[in-house]
Structure 1
Amino acid sequence: MTVLTQHRPAPVASDSPRHGRGFWLIAAVYLVALAFSTAPTPLYPIYQRVDGFSGFTVTVVFAVYAIGVIISLLLAGHVSDWTGRRRVLLVALGLEILAGVVFLTWTALPGLIVARLLTGLGVGLLAATATAYLLELHRAHRPEATGTRFEVVSSAANLGGLGAGTLVAGALAQFVASPLRTPYVVFLILLTLSVVAVAVAPETVTAPATRPKYRPQGVKIAGNRRTVVVATTSAFAAFAVFGLFTSLAPSFVAGTLHHPSRLLAGVTVFVVFGAGAASQAVSGRLAPRTRFVSGLAAQAAGLVTLATGMQAASLPLFLIGGAVAGAGAGILFKSAVGTIAAGAPAHQRGESLAGLFLIAYLGLVGPVLGMGLAGQHVAATTSMLWFTGLLLTLLGTVFTVDRWGTN
């Protein structure tokens, strides 16, 4: 019987310029693909006005996307460990291109749901694969270097892409004709270029002589149990904040705060992800423990400020709270990715990262769907207070478990 331990990364030359170029190409592909996944976010109020559906329907549409990610991670998040990184990325980009075509040609609610599901399936294939690919390209290009460049670039491509998608789509929707079509045309061009970039990047995986028997991913993450629990729970909490802003925040800004600008909707989400990407870049010099605790503290403080801004119907407080919470969430997610990537052996790296992203995306959909359901019966500000209380409890639990393990 063939097992995954037979797999080894492809042997590569030290300090290979080709792998250096490949590193930046895949980082750009990662950014574009994640940007496409959040492009509909500032457009949701337009979809609501055109089709007349409720805020809860927006939550359902968002949940369909996250469910697509989870399904894809469960079924195929790990297969690049033996089929190769490039092959899986090309399939992922193909799904996103198909989603873009559906967005363009079927603007009614059923089309929006189908397109979001396809986008989720593509992102689920791409997220763990691109992260593992970047680590391997980094090590092949700079075998003696630390993992700092990988951590900063992979996390910035992830969160920076998520933020850039809302900003680009919001700006195009504000200033260009056909707001429900033009953003997707732009991203379809970028996704097509991404296919070319993947095609010319070097592969980093050598397929085993006998392909392992296929099995679904499950949630299997290599590493110390307590460390894995802290990392995955941190990622869950971080993505809960990101989920709030990529689903409900634009409608809240347009409705409760009476700021219907499409550009502002994009800027609101960009502030959160931009703060997350920036905090990841500047926290690299901190000791791992200090970085982790600062992430917990920043996310907690941001959540309290965010809830206060919603209660006071204050856009400045809302944005400040989102930026601080996003900064903390960015640090927590960076720490989680770095911990899992470093702790997993090469033959389980893609599988372990897929498990991490699976739990993170559960955080993306679960709390937000709960808020959407609660919003059917209570005010948005009340459901936000519940959301804040639950996340603060979770963050406190993570801190306690981590501190218990270090004593």
Structure 2
Amino acid sequence: MRTRHNLGFWLIAGAFLTAMAFSTVPTPLYVLYQRQDGFSSFLVTVVFATYAVGVVVSLLLAGHVSDWVGRKRVLLPALGLELLAALIFLFSTGLPELLLARFVSGLGVGMITATATAYLAELHALSRPGDGTGRFEMVSTAANIGGLGVGPLVSGALAQYLPSPLRTPYLLFAVLLVLAIVAVGSTKETVDLTSERPAWRPQRIGVNGADRRAYLAAGTTAFTAFAVFGLFNSLAPGFVAGTLHHPSRLLAGVVVFVVFGAAAAAQTLTSGLRPASRFALGVGIEAIGLLVLVAGMATESLVGFLIGGALAGAGGGVVFKSAIGAVVASAAPAARGEALAGLFLIAYLGLIVPSLALGVTTQFVDATTAMYWFTGALLALLAAGARLHGVDFPRRLLTTAGSVLGK
């Protein structure tokens, strides 16, 4: 039985990675959509925000119900939504269809993130009873964050070297999503479906019986991490192609992959650290990365932009891994899916609010000035999250944030 649970663990990890990779496939293609349909960079942020809105709606309505109805009964229809989105992308390139496809994809991802994470935690415990959570944390966050980086790299390469750049990536992922559905269908359920189900209600944010201060710290810093990820999933490819004058679709995918690849690598490399040390390191690296990133934008340096993005992504990845570990450790088993759904809800708000704010701001000021404000705001939030977590350097971050906002 342990062997079957172990195989299921890896099948769910693969399905999780596939779904998250598909969710970022359009990132390096936005420039092509702009060129073909003539819409502005602000509309790119609207398209991206439509996806994030779909995620939040799904998290509110269905992200937590797998605790009651079972993991598979949520994952299978969620993957079906991702497949539907792939088909919409495949057969149409107009703005209305693009908005619809992104919203549908967001609905699926909102159901997948917390459910797949909880499923992996349970399959890990069943296949390796008595072990710590290190393997689960590494694999779940690598599938989540690593998948977000794989999608743009694959689609950028396909769009650069193969014909039909706005269709070929979606055809590949449609096939992969079908395989993911088969994988989930063959995995054993981990939720006891014989117990009484509570009445449905929308998602609440919180952890039953856990340290609310620690949960708030996890949510605040997860918000900042996803704000960085949202920046690179929406506006960064356009900035590289426009301001930095590097129009390569492959390079656009590489830029996003560097950020998420650094996040996944940092999560792996810091697995052996104590949770408190890992959290403090992640906050510090993310803060430094944001400052290097804005300096790279101010000097129109691709190298500085990439280094800053890699550092900010690495720090964000470590912070997000710490947040997931803290929530899983403190949540009651019967409420684990709900607790994770609440964390992902806060994190995905970090995709919507800052990206839309940047999109609006760039209609009135240049991109670098907007990034000064973006960086200052995130540094302030990082400092607040660190203080809630008991890390002793928030004042330095707040002072730096004030100086950045002052520009």
Task: Say whether the fold is shared (TM-score over 0.5).
Answer: yes
Q: 2:256 is aligned with what amino acid? A: V
Q: 1:30 is aligned with what amino acid? A: F
CA distance in 1, matches of 2:114, 2:384: 26
Following TM superposition, by how much is the alpha carbon of 1:211 offset from its aligned partner in structure 2, in angstroms?
A: 2.5
What corresponds to 1:107 in structure 2?
Answer: 93
**After alignment, is 201-210 or 48-57 more displaced?**
201-210
Q: Deviations over 1:208-243 (max 9, x none)?
A: 443221111132333201110111111101101000
What corresponds to 2:155 in structure 1?
Answer: 169
Secondary structure of 1:211's partner?
coil
| Mapping for residues 387-406 of structure 1, pairs under 5 Å | 387-403=374-390
Matching of residue 69 in structure 1 with residue 44 in structure 2:
no
User: Residue 365 of structure 1: which of 344, 352, 367 is its match?
Assistant: 352
| Mapping for residues 8-407 of structure 1, pairs under 5 Å | 16-222=2-208, 223-403=210-390
Following TM superposition, by how much is the alpha carbon of 1:87 offset from its aligned partner in structure 2, in angstroms?
A: 1.1
**After alignment, is 206-215 or 146-155 more displaced?**
206-215
Contact kept? 1:221, 1:356, Cα under 8 Å: no
Q: Deviations over 1:240-298 (max 9, x none)?
A: 10000000000000000000000000000000000000000000111111111110100
Q: Deviations over 1:64-103 (max 9, x none)?
A: 0000000000000111001110110001000000001100
Contact kept? 2:204, 2:338, Cα under 8 Å: no
Following TM superposition, by how much is the alpha carbon of 1:404 offset from its aligned partner in structure 2, in angstroms?
A: 7.3
Contact kept? 2:207, 2:330, Cα under 8 Å: no
**TM-score under structure 1 normalisation?**
0.95
Q: Deviations over 1:337-366 (max 9, x none)?
A: 010011101110000000000000001111
Q: Deviations over 1:99-157 (max 9, x none)?
A: 01100112100010000000000000000000000000000000111100000000000
CA distance in 2, matches of 1:371, 1:259: 21
Pair 1:279–1:404, CA change in 2 (3 A): closer
Secondary structure of 2:390's partner?
helix
CA distance in 1, matches of 2:186, 2:293: 44
CA distance in 2, matches of 1:284, 1:270: 21
Pair 1:91–1:316, CA change in 2 (3 A): same
Contact kept? 1:82, 1:208, Cα under 8 Å: no
Contact kept? 2:214, 2:388, Cα under 8 Å: no
RMSD: 1.2
**After alignment, is 199-208 or 21-30 more displaced?**
199-208
- Aligned residue pairs: how many? 392
CA distance in 2, matches of 1:255, 1:108: 22
CA distance in 2, matches of 1:401, 1:124: 27
CA distance in 1, matches of 2:195, 2:323: 33
Identity value in percent:
60
Pair 1:26–1:107, CA change in 2 (3 A): same
Contact kept? 2:47, 2:98, Cα under 8 Å: yes
Q: Deviations over 1:185-214 (max 9, x none)?
A: 000000000010001111100124432211
Following TM superposition, by how much is the alpha carbon of 1:180 offset from its aligned partner in structure 2, in angstroms?
A: 0.3
CA distance in 2, matches of 1:256, 1:224: 45
Following TM superposition, by how much is the alpha carbon of 1:326 offset from its aligned partner in structure 2, in angstroms?
A: 0.3
CA distance in 1, matches of 2:22, 2:391: 40
CA distance in 2, matches of 1:321, 1:103: 32
**TM-score under structure 2 normalisation?**
0.95
Contact kept? 1:69, 1:121, Cα under 8 Å: yes
Q: 2:156 is aligned with what amino acid? A: G
What corresponds to 1:4 in structure 2?
Answer: none
Unaligned segments of structure 1, at least 5 residues? 1-12
